[in-house]
Structure formats: structure tokens, C-alpha cells
Structure 1
Amino acid sequence: MNRAIKTILLVVGVILLAYGIYTMVVPEAKISIGDLDLVKTPDNTNAYIAIVLGIVAVALSLIKEKSKNV
């Protein structure tokens, strides 16, 4: 793999990891009306997908090519 592609994969992987972790950590919106609290149960499916894709992209960027000894 060429060096530019590896760099792009590394940057994209780090961004996806950061986005996935951010969406899991940031709490969902709450609505309070007096004593009544309406809280939406968070669905972290998209966050898990982003984290897995980020890990795969980082892993692919770190794979070394076999040296050709001819």
C-alpha cells in the first residue's frame, strides 16, 4: 500500500474513533417539565459502527508490507 493511502486511512480511523466515542459519551437530550423528566433511551448502534470502522481503518494503516528481496 502506498504511503499516502496509509496516512489517509490513519486520519480517517482516528476521526471515526473520536466521533464514535463522542457520540457514546455525550448524553442524549432530556426534557424536563416540572417534576416530569422525559429521557430518550440512547441507541448507540451508530457509535459502535463508527468505532469498529475506525479500528479497522487504523489497523489497515499500520499493516506493513512484505519486503521484496529479489
Structure 2
Amino acid sequence: MNNSLKTIAFISGIVILAYGVYTLFKPETQISIGDVDLIETQDNTNSYITIAVGIVIVALSSIIGKK
């Protein structure tokens, strides 16, 4: 049971980390109408939080089985 919990935590941490990196680097929305460029600025706060949570879960999964 402990080994399966460790594996599930590790895989979910990697998935969350990958999603955070994806949202950090995905292209910004840009609309061009003639000479006017409308660019939606990207707020990366949620991406940083998601990456941090993924790193914490991966780190905890490596500590779970050590006693």
C-alpha cells in the first residue's frame, strides 16, 4: 500500500508540474485588426503556484517511504 501511494503521488506531482510549465509557456492571446494590435497580457501567478505544488508533491513522494 505504501509503495502504491508513493507511485500515485509521484505521477500526480509530475503531471501537475508539467501542467504548470505548459501554462507558463503557452502563447499569449493576440488579436490584430489592421494597425491595431490587442495583446492580452499573461498573468503567470497561477502557473508559479501550480509548479510549486507539483515540486512539493514530488518531494513528498520521495520522503513517504523513508523511515
With the length of structure 2 as denominator, give the TM-score of the two structures: 0.90
Which residue number in structure 1 is paired with residue 18 of structure 2? 18
Which ranges in structure 1 are unaligned for 5 or more consecutive residues?
A: none
Indicate the percent of aligned positions where both proteins have the same amino acid.
58
Which residue number in structure 1 is paired with residue 66 of structure 2? 65
Distance of 1:42 and 1:14 partners within structure 2: 23
Distance of 1:35 and 1:3 partners within structure 2: 59
**How many positions carry a matched residue from both structures?**
66
Distance of 2:44 and 2:9 partners within structure 1: 24
Question: Which protein has the larger Cα radius of gyration, Structure 1 or Structure 2?
Answer: 1
Paired amino acid for 1:58: V
Q: Which structure features the higher share of helix residues?
A: 2
Q: CA offsets per residue over residues 2-26 of structure 1, 9 Å max, x none?
A: 1111111101110011000001111
Which residue number in structure 1 is paired with residue 4 of structure 2? 4
Which ranges in structure 2 are unaligned for 5 or more consecutive residues?
A: none
SS in 2 for 1:43: coil
Task: Measure how far apart 1:35 and its partner are.
Answer: 1.2
Distance of 1:34 and 1:3 partners within structure 2: 59
Which residue number in structure 2 is paired with residue 36 of structure 1? 36
Task: Measure how far apart 1:47 and its partner are.
Answer: 0.6
